[in-house]
Amino acid sequence: MKAPAGPSVRFAVCLDNRGYEASLEVAKLYRIVPDDDAARRGYLRVVDESGEDYGYAAPRFFLLSAPASLRRALDESTRRAPAVTRRRRAGR
């Protein structure tokens, strides 16, 4: 992990996708799902390219402490994204 985790850290940038090329993209921003058990074991729970959340080794990511206005914008953006993904998978 490259930055201290705190309540305002909800996003991270992938630094290393080796072994997970289909699930993670280097330099891409990912949403973090709070998971204290995973954190104790050195993992982050991340919503990956599948749209599901999975645990990945924390050193693969750089945690971001974003300003409140950016967090709100990203929250809104990522809330809308799953609906688009579901429509695409259904062939609409």
Q: In the structure encoding, which two tokens stand for residue 67, read together?
A: 């300003």
Q: Percent of the chain scored above 90 by pLDDT?
A: 58
Over residues 36-68, the pLDDT tens digits come to 999 999 999 999 999 999 999 999 999 988 888
What is the 8-class DSSP label of residue 91? Answer: T
pLDDT at residue 44 in the model: 97
Say whether pTM exceeds 0.75: no
Neighbouring residues of 11: CB distance < 8 A, sequence distance ≥ 6: 29, 30, 31, 32, 63, 64, 66, 71, 74
Query: What CATH number does residue 82 fall under?
Result: 2.30.30
Q: What are the two backbone dihedrals, phi and then psi, of residue 34, each rounded to the nearest 5 degrees? A: -55, 130
pLDDT at residue 15 in the model: 98
- Count of structural domains, the chain: 1
Over residues 7-31, the pLDDT tens digits come to 556 899 999 999 999 999 999 999 9
Domain that holds residue 61: 9-89
